[in-house]
Structure 1
Amino acid sequence: MLMTPGPTAVPEPVREAMSRELINPDVDPRFRELYGRLTERLATAYGVDPDDDGVADGSDDAARDVVALGGEGILGLEAAVASLVEPGTEVLCLSNGLYGEGFADFVESYGGDPTLVAAEHDEPLPLDALDDALAADDADFDLATMVHCETPTGTLNDIGSALDRLEAADSEILTVVDAVSSLGAVPVPTDRIDVCLGASQKCFSAPPGLATAAVSDRAWAAMDERDPHSLYANFLPFRDVSDGFPYTHLTTEVVALDAALGLLLDEGLDAVRKRHEAAAARCRERGAELGLETVPGPERSSPTVTAFEVPGRASEIQERLREDHDVILATGLGEGAGDVLRVGHMGHNARVDRVEETMDALAAVL
């Protein structure tokens, strides 16, 4: 049983959809219809009303175009930077984890000038340090990046407070948020974010292969001004696909994500979120019974993933769970890889019965 925080288990109706006859995306008009339905469903998941020209709350400020690029979720992070950063672009990278820090690496690789405002991986976002960076005499940021759910530590970040500070300091700063591991299971303030990133293989429970984004008008304008040099790591070619796609799209992955979103929306976003909360609560309750502590503490842990502290034992426990119980969990990433064991109660796997089976196996191993 796959209980990792992405890729997640793919439900049978999605697998069945993938097995149907292939649609050629370059010549078959049915593919454009399929892609259009996919982006409408994505808009609903993002909280943008597809029936109101992409406007979620009746204001132009909330308008977003939703796109789906062919590539694993990390493509979205790089494409956001590649589309908005050029030599000399000043970028504030707010971080308390591996992916937050990774934004700074992308910025450097595209010639930008990153300012990393970082906390330790088990700490909250450094909001006081953010205030200091924004108030500095030489502060002149074009862009700010942050991560909603830092999957390696199971941390759900308070991005609302960070956005408040950015808007108060300089409303012209564009914002990029990695919501890859929260979108579809946790409310995301998409209407306050210029580029909000998602992916197929996390809470949507489709296979890895599509990077998604909701993009504001002012972000599109900034991309037009910068004229990105990459074709693949570039959102602009997907802004208008009425005359075709920039490359042969990943047809089967589009079919899969469309089917997965259909299941999610049939269930209802509120019901899906409650299901994630219930699964997370039970996972942590069972963990506490086993004497396990979570990395960031329960008040900052994400409904999509629980990271348990198992100093020095993560790989051993992971192997025994896989070999003896056919349960697959993930270890940590980066420096703490050997000290963290992660349970992904995310997407299709956010179900109490699956959590119970997983924790029964973990109890037997421990």
Structure 2
Amino acid sequence: MTEDRLRMTPGPTEVPAPVRERTADPAPNPDVEPEFVEFYRDLTAKLEAIYGDDDVAVLGGEGILGLEAAVASLVDEGDRVLCLANGLYGEGFADFVELYGGEAVVCDADWTGPLDREAVAAELDDGEFDVATMVHCETPTGTLNDLDPILDLLDEHDVLAVVDAVSSLGGTPVPTEKMDVCLGASQKCFSAPPGLTVLSVSDRAWERVESFETRSFYADLEPWRAAADEGWFPYTHLASNLQGLDAAVDLLLEEGLDSVFARHEAAAERCRERARDLGLSLYPEREELASPTVTALHVEGRAVELQERVRDEHGIVLATGLGDLTDDVLRVGHMGHNARIERVERTMDALEAVLG
């Protein structure tokens, strides 16, 4: 029975009962009732406490919308954009840049290692860039990037920093104060239903957003700068999903960010400890690169088989790698509601059983 399964995936994560219940509550009509505007303002104020930022918006669309919207709204035709990449999503930013007429310069690093600050410095010294993109947690490889040194470097060169923190925001500290756009999503560490993008935008990023006319409607950030103040949204918002996110944010703030981060660290540490005991290695080359929200295990040629057996024999859903890593990486998501030792133990017990 699928309803009895434990879904230890790196998103969408399991939605706890209070969030499900709030999602099912009657919602104000977002187009005509002023109560919705007040609710949206209250929700963004709560999110600002998590971001540590004073300008947060929530868009109606799964987390990938944030990546496209950031590029669509900040990259004009012919703009040079430095795309920092040590994984699938870092490289994927370049596709959006080219889609909107920009010139993507990809600064690659090995997927098993960190971003290369020296390579970034060399690119910045060699040419002018308007925007740089990067990923905090590369979910497909379980790698958490230390962005502080790179963000400092970009600031020195007056380059706007766009960061995909979809799989880290709300689960581990994120240096949002150094970012111009920080992207999150409802279905990861918040443990709310999929369908919402959350993001913060700096003043200098807003200035750039307003400096040219984007070639997108749905992915245009400009209307969101004044949406809450003016009580007007560019499209009918996802009111029920927003109620679920509001409940999820309440749970997170009630627990306290420090406690939430410690819970994620403890779950990740136990997962990696159990993996070592089973003779399994991490995909990242060093354990200190491993994210506290997802563990990627290197199981060459066995990921799909192990995923299917753990699911069918033990009722636990895991994720494989993506793209070329589909059969070589098995991923355990311990983020949001699932970042709990007892859930990790049950998951690793099942993996131990199928490994024999």
Q: TM-score range by the shorter chain?
A: over 0.9
Q: What amino acid maps onto 1:187 in structure 2?
A: P
SS at match of 2:18: helix
Indicate conservation of the 8 Å contact 1:310/1:341, yes or no.
Answer: yes
Please tell me whether residue 323 in structure 1 is matched to residue 312 in structure 2: yes
SS at match of 1:255: helix
Q: Distance in 2 between matches of 1:303 and 1:315?
A: 23
Displacement of 1:222 after TM fit?
Answer: 0.3
Indicate conservation of the 8 Å contact 1:42/1:261, yes or no.
Answer: yes
Give the match for residue 40 of structure 2: 35
Indicate conservation of the 8 Å contact 1:23/1:30, yes or no.
Answer: yes
Please tell me whether residue 314 in structure 1 is matched to residue 319 in structure 2: no
Q: How does 1:154-169 map to 2 (within 5 A)?
A: 154-168=142-156
Please tell me whether residue 230 in structure 1 is matched to residue 216 in structure 2: yes
Structure 2 unmatched ranges of 5 or more: 1-5
Displacement of 1:235 after TM fit?
Answer: 1.2
Give the match for residue 300 of structure 1: 289
Displacement of 1:124 after TM fit?
Answer: 1.1
Q: What amino acid maps onto 1:273 in structure 2?
A: F
Structure 1 unmatched ranges of 5 or more: 49-53, 55-64
Q: How does 1:79-90 map to 2 (within 5 A)?
A: 79-90=69-80
Displacement of 1:66 after TM fit?
Answer: 0.2
Listed one character per residue, the Cα deviations across residues 247-288 of structure 1 (whole Å, up to 9, x for unaligned) are 000111100100000000000000000000000000000000
Indicate conservation of the 8 Å contact 2:37/2:231, yes or no.
Answer: no
Q: Distance in 1 between matches of 2:289 and 2:111?
A: 12
Give the match for residue 59 of structure 1: none
Please tell me whether residue 73 in structure 1 is matched to residue 63 in structure 2: yes
Q: What TM-score results when the alignment is normalised by the length of structure 2?
A: 0.96
Give the match for residue 343 of structure 1: 332
What CA RMSD, in Å, does the superposition of the two structures yield over aligned residues? 0.9
Q: How does 1:125-274 map to 2 (within 5 A)?
A: 125-136=115-126, 139-168=127-156, 170=157, 172-241=158-227, 242-274=230-262
Indicate conservation of the 8 Å contact 2:165/2:183, yes or no.
Answer: yes
Give the match for residue 26 of structure 1: 31
Indicate conservation of the 8 Å contact 1:148/1:182, yes or no.
Answer: yes
Listed one character per residue, the Cα deviations across residues 203-240 of structure 1 (whole Å, up to 9, x for unaligned) are 00001110111001111110111221312111111111
SS at match of 2:183: strand
Displacement of 1:140 after TM fit?
Answer: 0.8
Indicate conservation of the 8 Å contact 1:46/1:190, yes or no.
Answer: yes
Percent identity (aligned): 61
Q: What TM-score results when the alignment is normalised by the length of structure 1?
A: 0.93
Q: What amino acid maps onto 1:206 in structure 2?
A: A
Displacement of 1:18 after TM fit?
Answer: 1.1
Q: Distance in 2 between matches of 1:243 and 1:352?
A: 43
Q: What amino acid maps onto 2:48 in structure 1?
A: A
Displacement of 1:167 after TM fit?
Answer: 2.3
Q: Distance in 2 between matches of 1:252 and 1:233?
A: 21
Give the match for residue 16 of structure 2: 11
Match of 1:111 among 101, 115, 132: 101
Please tell me whether residue 102 in structure 1 is matched to residue 92 in structure 2: yes
Q: Distance in 2 between matches of 1:230 and 1:321?
A: 43
Count of equivalent residues: 347
Indicate conservation of the 8 Å contact 2:154/2:160, yes or no.
Answer: no
Q: Distance in 2 between matches of 1:46 and 1:320?
A: 39
Displacement of 1:33 after TM fit?
Answer: 1.4
Indicate conservation of the 8 Å contact 1:85/1:226, yes or no.
Answer: no
Give the match for residue 354 of structure 1: 343
Displacement of 1:243 after TM fit?
Answer: 3.4
Please tell me whether residue 123 in structure 1 is matched to residue 113 in structure 2: yes
